[in-house]
Every structure is written in structure tokens, then in C-alpha cells.
Chains A and B, each alone.
Chain A
Amino acid sequence: MALPRSERYATGVSLPLVQRLRSRDRAAFTELCHAHRDRLYGIAWSVTRERQEALDILQDTLTSAWRSIEQLQDDTALGAWLGQIALNHARMRLRSRRRKPAEAMDDIDAWYDDGGHRLERHTRWPRADDALERARMAQRLATLVERLPEDARELWALADVEQLSMQEISAIAGLHVANVKTRLHRTRLQLREWLAIELKGAR
């Protein structure tokens, strides 16, 4: 039932399905939902990291999609359309539960001297093949992600946790691919930096 990954987001789906959806064909909507079920749940889970919230987001996504289905255009990329709805609901949930404000990301230039040399040497990281240590590090990373600004967290979740392609993220988040790549790289550097500081402090 699932669509090939390459057809889920950036491309359109055959016109008859769009036309059936627009005429509120329940079987067509059911087919569409099943084709995108796992990816929609993945978006919701990776952004919120809460199972019950992800389930609620999935329900809200289906409900919103059905209510706005008559607005579909012939060239609407259905996967991207559903992904956008899921991401919007995930954002709303995230905002409503956020207990602490996000931290500002570092000015990367401050990590380097005027000649572009790294100012601070970091501690050696634990061995990556130690399963217990890796689990601890992953847990630390999950905690650090909570500090990220919302947009950075979303891109990290979609790309690095959910493993969506840059094109898929671009279509869902409404950003140019180049913009996604730049922001994502900035976020990865920040997470690596925070993790390095945490590991240093843990020793």
C-alpha cells in the first residue's frame, strides 16, 4: 500500500486520485491516509518525541486534511501537503508544551580566532562502539535538542531522526533546499558543540 519513498513528497500523484479526493471520496481518502501513515506518524514523533502527542497529531492531521480536501489542486503533491499539515500540528503542540524558552545558538565565529583557528580543544569522546555509553550519549543529545529554537529542532528531527531527504523537507517546511541544508548544518554543529561541552563536564 505504501508509495515508493521518492513519490511521497516532492512529486504529484495521479490526477484521478486528486479528483476523487476533491469530490470527498471516502475510499480515496482512506487509500491516501494508509499510503502516508508511517511517514506522518514519523514526522509527528520525531518533532515532539512524545508518543501520545504523536498519536494526537496524527488524528489532527487526518481531520484537517479531510476538512480542507476540496482545496486540493490538480498538481498538489499530496505527500508534501499532508506533511505540511502534520508539521503545523506538531509545531502547535510543541509551542503549547514548551516550558523553557529556547537558547540562542552560538555565534560560530566565536569558536575561532581571527585567523580561523579553533580556540578551544575538546575532550576525547567516549568510544562509539560502547553500547551503554552510546545510549547515554544519545539520551544527552535528546535533552540538548530541547534547547534548540523551534525551526532548528524541526529540521534536525525531519532530516537526522526521520531521515527525510532534503527535497522532502524542502517541500514540507516550505524552504529552499539550500536553505534547509544551511540551517541543518548550523544546527548539527551546535548540537555537536553542546554535546562536546556536556561530555567534557561529565568527566
Chain B
Amino acid sequence: MTCRELADRVGVYRAGELPVAARASLLFHAWMCPCCRALLSTYDVTLALSVELAEQQVPEEVAREFDRMIERAMAPAS
């Protein structure tokens, strides 16, 4: 496996969908290649940072206003 091929497969690997033989090949390459080890770890960091960009809770304003929003949606168009 080359670095290029590893880059193509890292998403499938992280999703747990890479067949056993291909997974072994990927892990062997990563063991040999510091650049690809870095890719694997920083790919994970990028995903983890994305999760942190989510709003943790729906704002209170939504909960408070939601019934009124539904009423407005059903109001006759002016």
C-alpha cells in the first residue's frame, strides 16, 4: 500500500468497513510510515474538532417559541 492509497482508505478504515486484509495492509504501512501515522491521528483530530463545533443543546428560545412558530406556519398566507 502507498501513502496515496492509505489516504483513500482512511475513511473506510475509521468507519470499520475495511476488509481484514486491506486493514492489515493499511496498519502495516502506517507502522512503517511516520507521515501516514500522522495522517491517521490528525484525521481523527479533525473529526473530533468538528464534533466540538456542534451546539450542545437546542437553544431555550426554540423550546419557548416553538408552538408559536408552528402557529405562524399554519396561519393563512397574507
Q: Is A202 an interface residue (CB 8 A)?
A: no
Q: Is B2 an interface residue (CB 8 A)?
A: yes
CB nearest to A191 among chain B residues? B46
A67 touches B58 (CB 8 A): no
CB nearest to B45 among chain A residues? A128
The interface size bin for chain A is 35 or more
Main secondary structure of the interface of A (DSSP, over half): helix
A59 touches B69 (CB 8 A): yes
Interface residues of B in 52-78 (CB under 8 A from A): 52-55, 58-59, 61-62, 65-67, 69-70, 72-74, 77
Give A184 to B15 CA distance when docked, in angstroms: 12
CB nearest to A34 among chain B residues? B66
A62 touches B46 (CB 8 A): no
Residues of B within 8 A of A33 (CB): 66, 69-70, 73
Q: Is A160 an interface residue (CB 8 A)?
A: yes
Residues of B within 8 A of A196 (CB): 42
List 17 other contacts, CB 8 Å, given A118-B39, A181-B12. A29-B74, A30-B70, A37-B58, A37-B66, A59-B69, A62-B72, A63-B73, A112-B2, A116-B5, A117-B3, A141-B50, A162-B54, A188-B46, A188-B47, A189-B7, A189-B10, A196-B42
